[in-house]
Amino acid sequence: MIEGGSEKNVSGSRVEGVKFELETVTPLFLGGADPRGEPELRAASIRGALRFWLRALLGGFTGDDIQGLESLRKAESEIFGSTQVGASRLTVRVLAPGKPTTQPFRVLPHSTSKTFKASAIKPGERFYVHIAPRPPHVYVPSIAWAATLLLLLLGGLGKRARRGFGSLALRRVQGELPFPIPDYSSPESFPELLSLTIEKAQKERTAFAQSLPIANSSLSNPPRFPVLHDEYAKILFCRYPFKTWDQAMESFWSLLRSNGYRDNPVFGFAGRQGRQASPLHLRVLRCSDGYHVLLTAFRVRFHHTQPPWKIMQKFLDECGNKYGGVWVIGGDIEW
């Protein structure tokens, strides 16, 4: 028990809270209370993204069978709360120095026929995200910090985040974290530092799961949901620098929409056959020498027929050859 018996024995670091200074790298399509109104910076959107990366991290331990899914729900509720456990252990607040600048951007930059635009928060806008324990809790579990860094390093926010929009840069951290933070300014050291951060996050995941305790279980092949696991996830950092964020995205889209990959179901789809979210996440990083492409792919079970994963492997290999790719994880396993 911790400080007066108010805490369970959950692995964590005793910090009052951490403030992350973030900067938009690509346009951020983030809907507000009025979906048709101007984009807004909302804590609810950040909490939703944190849940995704927490599940991706925890799933590598809990597995995805019936027991594993129950363990996953138990572990997730320890962080974000539930009707059985109570309120979330942490609070998430968004702080901005003023109203962010917005302007219209094309939502589908690859399409020659669908040229409509939507209002988005412009690249270069700065804001803060403050994460702290919710009283009477006195610390934020380390697994929550792990999920936060995975979101900030691998993910994005808002509509079309898996296609490069809503990429964020971590500019400063006020407070102490139990994790190394990769140096964005150095494209040479970034892949290795990112790999070390992921390894640290996976160790914290194991410690957190064992503290509950929940059992380690197996994964289906492929898993039912995205899992940050060496066999079912690949991360590729591309060392070739682009001068602008839109050049990086246009080059990626040009390759993805070429004849070898265009409309292949392995990249996700929406239509008469249903909807399948893309298992490929594009993130644009701004480093000291320009903008870089970071790709994260999850091999996951589709709702109906399984797609040709060898096409995803081929696409990642081609990106690596074309843009000087360095594997962070998953490079030694063929899909």
The pLDDT tens digits of the residues spanning 18-40 come to: 999 999 999 999 876 666 678 88
d(CA 160, CA 6): 41
Assigned domain for 298 exists: yes
Tokens representing 55?
A: 């599940």
Residues 6+ apart with CB under 8 A from 140: 12, 13, 15, 17, 18, 89, 90, 131, 132, 133
Assigned domain for 3 exists: no
Assigned domain for 19 exists: yes
Instruction: Quote the mean pLDDT of the chain.
Output: 90
At 211, the amino acid letter reads S
Q: State the pLDDT at residue 269.
A: 87
Cα-flanking dihedrals φ and ψ of residue 23, to 5°?
-135, 135
Q: Give percent of the chain with pLDDT exceeding 90.
A: 74
Q: State the pLDDT at residue 19.
A: 95
Give the structural domain span for 283: 12-214+223-329
d(CA 245, CA 292): 8
- In degrees, to the nearest 5, what angle opens at C-alpha 54 toward C-alphas 50 and 57? 140
143 within 8 A of 175, measured Cβ to Cβ? no
Q: How many domains does the chain have?
A: 1
Q: Which residues pair with 95 in a beta bridge?
A: 128
Write out pLDDT tens, residues 154-207: 999 999 999 999 999 999 999 888 877 888 889 999 999 999 999 999 999 999
Q: State the pLDDT at residue 3.
A: 30
Assigned domain for 93 exists: yes
Q: State the pLDDT at residue 82.
A: 87
Using pLDDT thresholds of 50, 70 and 90, give the confidence band for residue 321: very high
Using pLDDT thresholds of 50, 70 and 90, give the confidence band for residue 103: very high
In the block, which residue shows the tokens 């139990």? Answer: 178
Using pLDDT thresholds of 50, 70 and 90, give the confidence band for residue 6: very low
Asked which of 5-14, 134-143, 149-158, 186-195 is least confident by mean pLDDT, the reply is: 5-14
Asked which of 66-80, 105-119, 182-196, 219-233 is least confident by mean pLDDT, the reply is: 105-119
Assigned domain for 227 exists: yes
Assigned domain for 54 exists: yes
Assigned domain for 132 exists: yes
Assigned domain for 335 exists: no
